[in-house]
Amino acid sequence: MENRIYDEKNGLWYVKQGDYYLPELALPPEEEKPIGIWGQRHLQYLKENKQLVYINLLTSDRLNEYLASVDEQAEDMFSRLVKEYADRQGVTEQLKEENQLEWVGRINNIRVCVREVVECEIIYL
What does the domain layout of the chain look like in residue ranges?
1-30, 33-123
Res 33: pLDDT: 86
Res 1: pLDDT: 61
Query: What is the strand order of the sheet 12-17 is part of?
Result: 4-7, 12-17, 20-23
- The reported pTM is 0.74
The pLDDT profile of the chain, 125 residues, written as one tens digit per residue, is: 678 999 999 889 999 998 898 998 876 666 788 899 999 999 999 999 999 999 999 998 899 999 999 999 999 999 999 999 999 999 999 999 999 999 999 999 999 999 999 999 999 98
Q: How far is CA 65 from CA 14, 45, 115, in A?
A: 31, 16, 23
Q: How far is CA 120 from CA 2, 45, 114, 117, 123, in A?
A: 57, 12, 10, 5, 6
- 3-state SS, one letter per residue, for 103-116: HHHHHHHHHHHHHH
CA distance 12 to 1: 18
